[in-house]
Chains A and B, each alone.
Chain A
């Protein structure tokens, strides 16, 4: 028996959040809270909080990036200065601290930022293929979508709940087994 995905479009966050609350309380057999996704035109922490805490681990990578940048940066600079010792400079040591500090600082930030962006893309699952899931251009405008993935049997229930919270529009699609689910 197949799994389906339904998307309900709501006019505002209140409607959407009510719908979600009911979904959670309706304790449908095959419905997992983690399978509820909100699609919204603006970020909305309160609504997201209904779904329980979900991880956003980018900061960890940021730290790694920064440390990498600093250490590698300094090593590179110092070593290149060291092996070009012909570069005796106006009475300064061969590996002078102040300039190397400045450069290390810059490289730390550089890598920090790069890795953060990288991490963001990975964690947010970007870039993603649109076809892979339900979407409606209204979402990018002013409507809030609630997407639920569940077994066929309780889908109708979900739809009912959506209608009860006067969803403007309800779409659904069958999920092929093969595809990794999101």
Chain B
């Protein structure tokens, strides 16, 4: 007890997934060896979630609104000639189980749902932006302008494309990746009317759906038969650990699963699989 106070700090995640989330725990697995950085997911997100196109000037000021972004890093070793190509990273809200953004919101506009989502209540948000300040991944995007009305982000007839399943956000509120919550709700209510739980593969996010290489796997972690659940178990990544057992002894077996900035104890819900490069090549 004296050595590890942390177990007294958090009550969630408890380590017992079924206790935290009896029915659903939406999670992802992203295979960085499959991701080619083609940006299909980014466009899919724009189309599904009514993201405004901000234009050059605002992009210059860093006010872009992409909920998922493809990052491109270079390897510091062979910086002159990147023999091993580039490093791509699809980064979106990690839907942390102990999200740093949730605790700091003064009005409780961002909360944890029973499905383990990190919800953002648009009409409650007053725009203090504390959540984003506290987000280690910086994946929250703020409406610096009134895109629908004042900035004319959707000149006619582009508004006809907007997805009626979710709102168009207005000035002064925070938004972020929702794991396409509108799709999840549709699937859940459908399942509920049929008196069952959502089956694996029945619902997926726009990004996972579009990904040409199928690098993104989305599903319900609680469901023992879900693909994503199997991958997490296979990769021995435990949602409620901040250091995975396999990594304690330097991961000798070569299991690729890991989570970004895991040591910050936010318990992200997205597992990445390490990019692979052949050393013979």
**Which residues of chain A have a CB within 8 Å of any CB of chain B?**
84, 86-93
A90 and B108 contacting across the interface, CB-CB below 8 Å: no
Which residues of chain B from 86 to 106 have any CB-CB distance to chain A below 8 Å in the complex? 96-103
B37 part of interface (Cβ distance < 8 Å): no
Cβ contacts under 8 Å, A90 to chain B: 96, 98-103, 112, 266
Measured between alpha carbons, how far is A92 from B99 in the docked complex, in Å? 10
**A86, A89, A91, A93: residue with the most chain B Cβ atoms closer than 10 Å:** A91
Measured between alpha carbons, how far is A19 from B243 in the docked complex, in Å? 84
Measured between alpha carbons, how far is A92 from B113 in the docked complex, in Å? 14
B103 and A92 contacting across the interface, CB-CB below 8 Å: yes
Top-3 shortest CB links A-B? A91-B98, A90-B102, A88-B112
Which residues of chain B from 227 to 257 have any CB-CB distance to chain A below 8 Å in the complex? none
B13 part of interface (Cβ distance < 8 Å): yes
B112 and A93 contacting across the interface, CB-CB below 8 Å: no
Measured between alpha carbons, how far is A90 from B95 in the docked complex, in Å? 10
Q: Give the nearest-CB partner of A84 in chain B.
A: B108
- Partner of B10 from the list A84, A86, A88, A91 (CB cut-off 8 Å) is A91
Chain A nearest CB: distance from B109 CB in Å?
10
Chain B nearest CB: distance from A95 CB in Å?
11
Measured between alpha carbons, how far is A89 from B96 in the docked complex, in Å? 11
Measured between alpha carbons, how far is A88 from B96 in the docked complex, in Å? 13
Q: A92-B10, A92-B103 are in contact. Are A87 and B111 (CB under 8 A)?
A: yes
Q: A84-B108, A86-B111, A88-B112 are in contact. Are A93 and B11 (CB under 8 A)?
A: yes
A89 and B111 contacting across the interface, CB-CB below 8 Å: yes
Measured between alpha carbons, how far is A130 from B68 in the docked complex, in Å? 73
Measured between alpha carbons, how far is A92 from B98 in the docked complex, in Å? 8
B12 part of interface (Cβ distance < 8 Å): yes
**B10, B12, B98, B99: residue with the most chain A Cβ atoms closer than 10 Å:** B12
Cβ contacts under 8 Å, B99 to chain A: 90-91
Bitwise, B16-53 to A at CB < 8 A (1) or not (0) is 00000000000000000000000000000000000000
Chain B nearest CB: distance from A161 CB in Å?
67
Measured between alpha carbons, how far is A86 from B13 in the docked complex, in Å? 16
Q: Give the nearest-CB partner of B113 in chain A.
A: A88
Chain B nearest CB: distance from A81 CB in Å?
10
Known pairs A88-B12, A90-B99; list 18 more (Cβ under 8 Å).
Answer: A84-B108, A86-B111, A88-B102, A89-B103, A89-B112, A90-B98, A90-B100, A90-B112, A90-B266, A91-B10, A91-B11, A91-B13, A91-B97, A91-B98, A91-B99, A92-B10, A92-B11, A92-B103
B267 part of interface (Cβ distance < 8 Å): yes
Chain A nearest CB: distance from B128 CB in Å?
15
Bitwise, B109-122 to A at CB < 8 A (1) or not (0) is 00111000000000
Measured between alpha carbons, how far is A24 from B11 in the docked complex, in Å? 72
Chain A nearest CB: distance from B241 CB in Å?
13
Can you report 28 residue pairs joining A to B where beta carbons are below 8 Å apart? A84-B108, A86-B111, A87-B108, A87-B111, A88-B102, A88-B111, A88-B112, A88-B113, A89-B102, A89-B103, A89-B108, A89-B111, A89-B112, A90-B96, A90-B98, A90-B100, A90-B103, A90-B112, A91-B11, A91-B12, A91-B97, A91-B98, A91-B267, A92-B10, A92-B12, A92-B98, A92-B103, A93-B11
Measured between alpha carbons, how far is A62 from B23 in the docked complex, in Å? 52
Measured between alpha carbons, how far is A93 from B98 in the docked complex, in Å? 11
Measured between alpha carbons, how far is A88 from B108 in the docked complex, in Å? 9
Chain A nearest CB: distance from B119 CB in Å?
10
Chain A nearest CB: distance from B101 CB in Å?
7
Measured between alpha carbons, how far is A173 from B167 in the docked complex, in Å? 78
Cβ contacts under 8 Å, A84 to chain B: 108
Cβ contacts under 8 Å, B102 to chain A: 88-90
Cβ contacts under 8 Å, B266 to chain A: 90
Cβ contacts under 8 Å, A92 to chain B: 10-12, 98, 103
Cβ contacts under 8 Å, B112 to chain A: 88-90
